[in-house]
Amino acid sequence: MSVSVLGAGAFGTALAISLAGKGPVTLWARDAGDMAERRENAKRLPGCPFPETLSVTDDLEAGTEAEIILLAVPMQKLRSVLEEHKDALHGKHLVACCKGIELSSGVGPVSVITQTIPDATAAILTGPSFAADIARGLPTALTLACADAEAGRYLQAALTTANLRLYRTTDTIGAELGGALKNVVAIASGAAIGAGLGESARAALMTRGYAEMQRLAAHLKSEPTTLAGLSGFGDLTLTCTSEQSRNYRLGQSLGQGTPFDPTTTVEGAATARAVDALARDAGIDMPITRAVAGLLDNQLDVAGAMKSLLTRPLKEE
């Protein structure tokens, strides 16, 4: 089997490094020259040298020769990348490595793949993981979701490495939602800590945010147990409690009222807006998501957001 990674951000680079421990891997990037010369991604993942089995290229033909292609591009750019390169990606095993809901359509990455390249085998790799941990060989467990059970087993075997253990599911909707919605809750959690509201407030937001995730997942007919696994609860726990999370750091900036680097990709921002619109249309109660969307659009401040949550009608848990 052959593997390529399209996209040399921190996560794509880390996956390529880990997978290269099993055999040759190609990492495609528009700015491949510097990485090929330095043998590391000095800009996005410094201090993590490339194995000899990892080749870097800016040649799309070379980057798409593999049978299995990991799509490590931002969620909001996934469709345009697929449409731009659809001739080279027909019939491949395409594994999305991004987390979010597309703002324009309200669907997740697996749906974007199947809509854009119908003859591809679509899957998603998601769960609690930081790029630096994977690249440095630290143990990490993720969810590999593919609606085709046989293809899922094949991908699970191909993409499991010495430090990266994959668990398999056919519930792509649940896996997509877990990876997307935990980023929204992480923004809320970061805002609470940034505003000095304390650990108890963060714990409450995480717990009630998880309940929102379950409500939307039930509406979209995902398996009830999926969000209890790595792609849901596991990723929620990691992302809401670590400053390595860009979504959490954005929330902290909102809570502190300080600027945030606009060049940093934060998937939860667009996802909050997309999910808020989806929930409103479907009549699903998702107050934390609504509050995060309000914060991002400057319609609320943190004090107003917390007031809106704390003054909701009392009810059973």
CB 109 within 8 A of CB 176: yes
Written as one string, the DSSP assignment of 138-157 is: --EEEEEEESSHHHHHHHHH
- Which pLDDT score, from 0 to 100, does residue 317 have? 85
Q: What confidence tens digit (pLDDT) does each residue in 144-178 have?
A: 999 999 999 999 999 999 999 999 999 999 999 99
Q: What confidence tens digit (pLDDT) does each residue in 269-317 have?
A: 999 999 999 999 999 999 999 999 999 999 999 989 988 898 888 888 8
pTM of the model: 0.96
Hunting for tokens 């998937």 — which residue is that? 267
- Which pLDDT score, from 0 to 100, does residue 238 have? 98
Domains of the chain: 3-170 (3.40.50.720), 180-310 (1.10.1040.10)
Residues of the chain with pLDDT under 70: none
Q: What is the set of active-site residues?
A: 182
- Which pLDDT score, from 0 to 100, does residue 314 have? 83
Which residues contact residue 184 at a Cβ distance below 8 angstroms, ignoring those fewer than 6 apart?
209, 247, 268, 271, 272, 275, 288, 289, 292
d(CA 180, CA 235): 10
Annotated binding-site residue numbers for sn-glycerol 3-phosphate: 99, 127, 129, 182, 235, 245-247
- Which pLDDT score, from 0 to 100, does residue 95 have? 98
Q: What value does the mean pLDDT of the chain take? A: 96
